[in-house]
Structure 1
Amino acid sequence: YRLIHGGRAAVPVSVRFGRASSNTIQILEGLKPGDQVIVSDTSGFAGAHRIRIRG
């Protein structure tokens, strides 16, 4: 999920990965520099077209 609206919501995004190491991964497609993403478990959001971020 990529954060939108100043971090108040997130939408699913397809990302193509390249090379990976123990602490980095290359993004080939789907994100731009500066995009913020949710990297924790998102399985609870499966099928959601958009999620609202509270806090």
Structure 2
Amino acid sequence: MLLSQTSQLILRHQNIFKTKKVFFFGNITDDFPLYLNTIKTIINLKKYSDYIILKKKH
């Protein structure tokens, strides 16, 4: 899995997010939000086609 620079930054600090509710919004360029360990993760996408792709991976 190739990660965007933003996802790599979040991954380096993933311990901070374990006890948080995280909201991803906008142009999600990889599927990292699906695998981030949090209390609750919400993903809001701009395009329906991106939603279909992430839905298949989950």
- Larger relative contact order (CA 8 Å, sep ≥ 6): 1
Q: What band does the TM-score fall into relative to the shorter chain?
A: under 0.3
Normalised by the length of structure 2, the TM-score is 0.20
Larger proportion of strand: 1
Normalised by the length of structure 1, the TM-score is 0.21
